[in-house]
Amino acid sequence: MKPTIKEHKLTRILRAGDPAAHTGPMLPAEAAHMRARVRAVSRADAPRSWKPWALAAVATAALVVIAAPYGSFPAGTRTTAVPAAGPGIEVPVATNRREIHFIAPNGTRIIWSLRKDDDRPWKADDPEVRS
């Protein structure tokens, strides 16, 4: 049978052999040296503080770079009040759906979605279409 130790005795043995009890605390000189080293590293590795204007400039530049490949809207030609065929109409081709975008002079955007498989003329009173 293995010998065992009771709960309170185990605690007593552990405390009697506690390394911290016999070695003592960190010496002031050791602590000062360590503190100075930590401080030096903290200063060296401190993140650069970003000024708000610099952040805004970087964000704008990034936005321009990202938006550039998508092209720009031709001025004047797109802002027709009447939604009719013309140079202001942009018809992106999709596989089974087409969208026509109009931009009114006040900035309102109108988007028509046309499906290839639905060529019937729309009727306001057509219950099938409305549903």
Residues within window 36-75 making contact with another protein, judged by CB under 8 A: 37-39, 41-43, 45-47, 49
Helix, strand or coil, per DSSP, at residue 106? coil
Q: State which H helix or E strand residue 110 sits in.
A: strand 109-115
Yes or no: say if 15 and 21 are a contact pair by the CB < 8 Å rule.
Answer: yes
Instruction: State yes or no: residue 97 binds another protein (CB under 8 A).
Output: no
Q: How far is the CB of 50 from another protein (least distance, A)?
A: 11
Is residue 8 part of the contact set for another protein (CB under 8 A)? no
Nearest distance from C-beta of residue 55 to another protein, angstroms: 15
Report if residue 128 touches another protein, rule: CB under 8 A.
no
User: For residue 14, which amino acid is it?
Assistant: L
Q: Binding of another protein at residue 115 (CB under 8 A)?
A: no
Task: Give residue 64's identity as a one-letter amino acid code.
Answer: V
CA angle 112, 83, 89 (to 5 degrees): 70
Residue choice 15, 48, 51, 120 for contact with another protein (CB under 8 A): 15
